[in-house]
Amino acid sequence: MSGPEAWLAEARKWIGTKESPPFSNRTPFGAELGLNASAWCGTFQLYCARHSGNEAALRGLSTFSTQAFLRRAKALGMEVSAAEARPGDLLVMTHTPTTGHIGMLESRAGLRFMSIEGNTAPGDDRDGGEVMRRVRDASAWNGGIIRPAYAAAATGSIITPAAVIPPAEYWVPAIDVAKYQGQIDHAAVKAAGIELAIVKLHNTKEVDPSALGNVSGFAAAGVPAAGYWYAHTYLDRDPAVQARNDAAWARQLSPFSPFFMADIESGENEPLTPAAIVWWNAYIAALPPQTWLYGGANYLGMLDQAIIARHPVISARYPRQGAAPAAAQWDEFALALPAPTWPVSFQWSGWQFTSSGAVPGVPASCDLNIIRRSALSPALYPQGVSMQPSRSGKLVQEAGLPAVYLGHDEGIVYRWVLNDDDLKWCQYSITVNGGDPTIHQVDKGKLGLMGVLVGPPPVQ
């Protein structure tokens, strides 16, 4: 049996159930679905849909994140008006763009709705900890009313688009990878729905041995590959020079990266002493403004927030460990977790929600992220960075070093020219743009006097 009455019958069985222990968000619904310790009003409805034979009626959507569900369901034309609402419809409240509450309509008297809801209580509609019947005016459900596709599911004619999400509030599923993930099947990652790979390039001391293989592999598979480096504190070095060197080295290793990110956290870094705080503030201030930052509240939260806020920021939204659902549901998985509490006023550009995710094509566990699509524009849409040199582009070689191609926009080193084929390509590109393909020679040690800051020579 399926249909709205079966869903309601399943929900009624659980009336009076409370999370245990109190204030833990732990329930039998979350335990079965792997979603314990998160707000569970949507998890309860998803559980009831599954156990009443109605999961197909959700058309491939999940109710775990009420607001993601609401946006997707509206995009699929599943919304009905309050006047049309009938038992079995899902009622959604919106509190913020990413938080809300959901229940199921059981009966109505005009515009007074009786519903069955999980994680509710009088005075605490969205996190009350109990399955209850509640009576409210229809206006309380300010998000919308969604009708599951009961009839289409019953006839087997259900249509479940892979992703129907308004672009303005879409979160891109992204993984970050390094040598620890082993030999990656980049095409399988693409097939799994991953839209962005953030590839470790270096750690300010040495190139990650998987960097070039991952950059080229993801490019061949059609997955945009951003690049990141693990930044280190060197109190005996000029932080501005170190920042520009780190960025230049990353650019050389992955010239087509849509963006670069500095991983700034504890671990191998200097303890966060007053001297280290001063160093990090100067380091971040010297990074190109389009450089993204990754870090946790225990580190970035202690730095100058005015400097941090100039950059797109990804931070951890833990704890969420273990395997995750399909990539299309990662936003629901991540947004239900608490946000960091350090005092920031900017909009987050992304969240990392687990360090032990499982992704087809990646042999070892990896970090899973969601990235705000609007934060990626125009970095990814249109995709990539133009590599066509302009008339002012030129090649320079310092005695004893490989040639370098000077970027035409800011007069800094764009990347190293790694081999003869690469050199011929640059010379050809400069020529067709009307420039001078000659390699300009400078004396040893004089490259820096031209205002050029470069990372270490390539590691072959």
Instruction: Tell whether the model's pLDDT for residue 459 goes beyond 70.
Output: no
Least confident of 117-121, 404-408, 409-413, 433-437: 409-413
How far apart CA 189 and CA 449 sit, in angstroms, is 44
Least confident of 107-121, 323-337, 421-435: 421-435
Q: Please tell me the CATH superfamily of domain 168-376, with its number.
A: Glycosidases (3.20.20.80)
Helix axis angle for 4-13 and 41-51, nearest 10°, is: 120
pLDDT by residue (tens digit) across 435-458? Answer: 778 888 878 766 655 544 444 554
Better-scored residue on pLDDT, 292 or 434: 292
Average pLDDT in the 345-353 region?
A: 81
pLDDT band at 131 (very low <50, low <70, confident <90, very high): very high
**Residue 154: per-residue pLDDT:** 80
Domain range list for the chain: 4-155, 168-376, 394-450
Three-state DSSP class for 249?
helix
Tracing tokens 């399943």 back to the chain, one arrives at 10
Instruction: Tell whether the model's pLDDT for residue 3 goes beyond 60.
Output: yes
**Residue 386: per-residue pLDDT:** 35
Mean pLDDT of the chain: 81
Helix axis angle for 66-75 and 41-51, nearest 10°, is: 60
**Residue 227: per-residue pLDDT:** 94
**Residue 61: per-residue pLDDT:** 84
Average pLDDT in the 174-200 region?
A: 95
**Residue 410: per-residue pLDDT:** 39
**Residue 431: per-residue pLDDT:** 73
Contacts of 50 (CB under 8 A, 6+ apart): none
Better-scored residue on pLDDT, 418 or 398: 398
Better-scored residue on pLDDT, 410 or 90: 90
**Residue in 337, 340, 364 with CA at minimum distance from that of residue 353:** 337
CATH says 4-155 is which class? alpha beta
Instruction: Tell whether the model's pLDDT for residue 202 goes beyond 80.
Output: yes
Kindly provide the b/e burial profile for residues 356-368, where b requires at least 16 CB atoms within 10 angstroms of the residue's own CB: ebebebbeebbbb
**Residue 415: per-residue pLDDT:** 56
Instruction: Tell whether the model's pLDDT for residue 433 goes beyond 80.
Output: no
pLDDT by residue (tens digit) across 20-59? Answer: 888 788 899 988 877 777 789 999 999 999 999 998 899 8
Average pLDDT in the 340-360 region?
A: 81
**Residue 41: per-residue pLDDT:** 93
**Residue 355: per-residue pLDDT:** 87
**Residue 411: per-residue pLDDT:** 38
Instruction: Tell whether the model's pLDDT for residue 166 goes beyond 50.
Output: no
**Residue 406: per-residue pLDDT:** 63
Q: How far is CA 352 from CA 215, 251, 398, in A?
A: 21, 23, 41
Three-state DSSP class for 9?
helix
Instruction: Tell whether the model's pLDDT for residue 319 goes beyond 90.
Output: no
pLDDT by residue (tens digit) across 422-432? Answer: 677 677 767 76
Instruction: Tell whether the model's pLDDT for residue 399 goes beyond 80.
Output: no
**Residue 450: per-residue pLDDT:** 52
**Residue 140 class from Cβ within 10 Å (0-12 exposed, 13-18 middle, 19+ buried)?**
middle
**Residue 120 class from Cβ within 10 Å (0-12 exposed, 13-18 middle, 19+ buried)?**
buried
Q: Is the dihedral of CA 117, 122, 126, 127 positive or negative?
A: negative
